[in-house]
Amino acid sequence: MALMDWLKKRLAGDEKAELTLSPEESSLSGLNLAQVIDAHMAWKSRLQSTLLGTSTEQLEVAVVARDNLCVLGKWLYGVGKQQFSHLPEYEALRKTHADFHLCAGEVLIEFHNGKIDTATSLLKGKFRNLSDMIQLGLVRLFAAAKK
């Protein structure tokens, strides 16, 4: 399973590992796994650009902290909930995803309060951990759903 190999490399610290999915691995009930993983990995760069003052976007805490606005969030509260809420892997992913967005909001709050060091520490620690947990959660839900 290419998805598992990629995840192992990512969790081992290989940030440049390429995600190549087979057709069977690319979608889970309409959710494009590569797109969702890429979008959540991009949050680190978006937040980092904000902290460095190089971002061209105005990220709002109230929007960033909501877990139901992105593609994964809409899926988790729609099709994903309908089809997979009976699986413990679904609830684990839903909670991790919510925590991820709350942490992104936390990074922005610290930044807006002038606490750049705290925001940077959150981004490199708690936020990165939650990002990794989303990737792992997606793989676990995928595996459980395909049984």
Domains of the chain plus CATH, in order, are: 35-145 (1.20.120.30)
Query: According to DSSP H, which parts of 12-87 are helical?
Result: 33-52, 61-64, 71-76, 79-84
Place of tokens 């990737």: 135
Cβ 6 vs Cβ 18: under 8 Å: yes
pLDDT of the residue at 37: 83
Mean pLDDT score of the chain: 89
What pLDDT, in 10s, does the model give residues 7-18?
A: 677 667 777 766
What pLDDT, in 10s, does the model give residues 48-81?
A: 999 999 999 999 999 999 999 999 999 999 999 9
Q: How far apart are CA 67 and CA 96, in angstroms?
A: 10
Predicted TM-score of the model (pTM)? 0.85
pLDDT bin (cut points 50, 70, 90) of residue 4 is low
**Contacts (Cβ under 8 Å, ≥6 apart) of 33:** 3, 21, 25, 26, 27, 138, 142
Query: Mind giving me the DSSP string for 76-92?
Result: HTTHHHHHHTTSHHHHH
Q: How far apart are CA 36 and CA 70, in angstroms?
A: 9
